[in-house]
Amino acid sequence: MSDAAGFRALPSVDRLAGAEGASALVARYGRAAVVDAARDAIDAARESLKRGQPAPDADALLNQMAVRLHAQFAPTLRPVINATGVIIHTNLGRAPLSDEAARAVSDIASQYNTLEYNLEAGARGSRLLHADVLLREITGAEAALVVNNNAAALVLLLSALAQGRGVIISRGQLVEIGGGFRVPEVMEQSGAVLIEVGATNRTRPSDFTQAISHPRPYHPPAAMLMRAHASNFKQIGFTEEVSLAEMSAIAHAHGLLCVDDLGSGALLDTAAYGLEHEPTVQESLAAGCDLVAFSADKLLGGPQAGILAGKKAIIDVLKRHPLARAVRADKLCLAGLSATLEHYRRGEAIEKIPVWRMMALSADAIRAQAASWAELLGPGASVVESESTVGGGSLPGATLPTFCLALDGPSPNTLAARLRACDTPIIARVQDDRLLLDPRTVLPGQAEALLAGLRAALSGG
């Protein structure tokens, strides 16, 4: 075919976008986007012809349009299969919700609701009460307040209780939590004045009492003693810490508050699952803390939120602070959080809440799962011993024994990239030049999609 004939053979934009084969694309993506895609496909075909290459036929043009539209319309926030074995994976959305919590979110999302409505009185109610009763019952706190996340909880409590005043904290706890979020910088932002005591590795009770009774002339009077839980690193060797009970006693003897930034916010004992003991909210309160701040989407296993639990008089001050409005929790968060807390109240958290179910899975059960997948996949797949981690700023360095599906493919990185390109992307782990998939973090409903993705990737994907 001559060049001129080639150009003439190309359909017009309207004809291509209106072709029978394009109707499914129009139904899915709308006419305007399909017309744009048709124009681009024809432009590209013209360029090919100019370079002396053959032009694609109509089917090939439609195919190009479909690929382009699929990529263009793919949401950036998508479900994935977490086969990394990191249970609370911050990059993958931290804690997946229980079925009940997900349903509660969806119910509230699509209907009007009692967010700020008192049904009995037929009048305005408060959004602050929704998780309040559950939190009081489960933690034993006098009162609780739910905000956007734990970072917001810290900003609120420091602004409301320590603005222009001193916050005494051990030098070993001036931590960076992740994403550049640093405890000392948050304090500065909130107008609180950091009073560091002790050394990086050792802080004693006398360091706190000294700072209180012999303040530096340039320090304002202190408002509180604060502990920031070292949730993402571990100090070993020549170390000494002051217990929360001691800190509370010192604070209260001097008319100050004792506040705990607990981070992961475990409500159950991780030691029951072969892990180290992660301090719980109940323990901090029992140690005498006036206020405990923690995340709802780490070990609690709920939606993103920050929870403040403690003395009623103090929570009331926080509720009245102007910042409380700026960091308040929304209806979807409150729905998911309440449903998650319900699992604790009913004593069914381990069975129902995914992060706890994953922690409680036995290595034997995981080995059986990995072996059944290996068998279904055939040659190239095997089972290897490995380790899962809890992640998400809790239990640093702690691991759980696991068994992974190991894939011998072209190269582990090529295989990993193919898995990420699946309809439901699969996130795996490359270790010792092999691709490993840990069944522990694969949700029960995802096994079929996982196997389909693995088969496609192994066969050249």
Ligand X SMILES: *Cc1c(COP(=O)(O)O)cnc(C)c1O
Closest distance between ligand X and the C-beta of residue 298, in Å?
6
Closest distance between ligand X and the C-beta of residue 443, in Å?
22
Closest distance between ligand X and the C-beta of residue 297, in Å?
7
Binding residues vs ligand X (CB under 6 A):
149-151, 177, 228-229, 231, 261, 263-264, 295, 306, 393
State the Cα–Cα distance between residues 22 and 26, nearest whole angstrom: 6
Residue nearest to ligand X (CB): 263
Closest distance between ligand X and the C-beta of residue 205, in Å?
22
CB contact set of 177 (below 8 Å; sequence gap of 6+): 151, 183, 231, 232, 263, 393
Contacts of the segment 215-220: beta carbons below 8 A, 24+ positions apart: 215/166, 219/166, 219/193, 219/195, 220/164, 220/165, 220/166, 220/193
Its sign, for the CA torsion 172, 176, 181, 182, is: positive
Instruction: Tell me how crowded residue 119 is: count the other CB atoms within 10 A of its CB.
Output: 8
Helix (H) or strand (E) holding 280: none
Closest distance between ligand X and the C-beta of residue 407, in Å?
33
Closest distance between ligand X and the C-beta of residue 259, in Å?
12
CB contact set of 24 (below 8 Å; sequence gap of 6+): none
Is 172 or 393 the residue whose CB approaches ligand X more closely? 393
Is 182 or 204 the residue whose CB approaches ligand X more closely? 182
Closest distance between ligand X and the C-beta of residue 308, in Å?
12
Is 289 or 366 the residue whose CB approaches ligand X more closely? 289
Side by side, the strands of the sheet bearing 222-228 are 143-147, 306-310, 291-295, 257-263, 222-228, 166-170, 193-197
Closest distance between ligand X and the C-beta of residue 95, in Å?
11
Is 310 or 393 the residue whose CB approaches ligand X more closely? 393
CB contact set of 246 (below 8 Å; sequence gap of 6+): 205
Residue 382, token pair as written in the block = 């095997």
Is 261 or 438 the residue whose CB approaches ligand X more closely? 261
Is 263 or 391 the residue whose CB approaches ligand X more closely? 263
Instruction: Tell me how crowded residue 191 is: count the other CB atoms within 10 A of its CB.
Output: 12
Is 257 or 415 the residue whose CB approaches ligand X more closely? 257
Residue 235 near residue 172, CB atoms below 8 Å:
yes
Q: Is 318 helix (H, G, I), strand (E, B) or coil?
A: helix
Strand ranges (E), 34-153: 81-82, 86-88, 117-118, 123-124, 143-147
Closest distance between ligand X and the C-beta of residue 231, in Å?
3
Q: Indicate the burial class of 332 (C-beta count within 10 angstroms; 0-12, 13-18, 19 or more).
A: middle
State the Cα–Cα distance between residues 457 and 446, nearest whole angstrom: 16
Amino acid at 278: E
Helix (H) or strand (E) holding 151: helix 150-162
Is 98 or 149 the residue whose CB approaches ligand X more closely? 149
Residue 267 near residue 131, CB atoms below 8 Å:
no
Closest distance between ligand X and the C-beta of residue 232, in Å?
6
Is 61 or 275 the residue whose CB approaches ligand X more closely? 275
Is 72 or 189 the residue whose CB approaches ligand X more closely? 189
Dihedral-angle region of residue 378 (phi above 0 means left; psi in -120 to 50 means alpha; beta otherwise) = left
Closest distance between ligand X and the C-beta of residue 103, in Å?
23
Is 241 or 261 the residue whose CB approaches ligand X more closely? 261
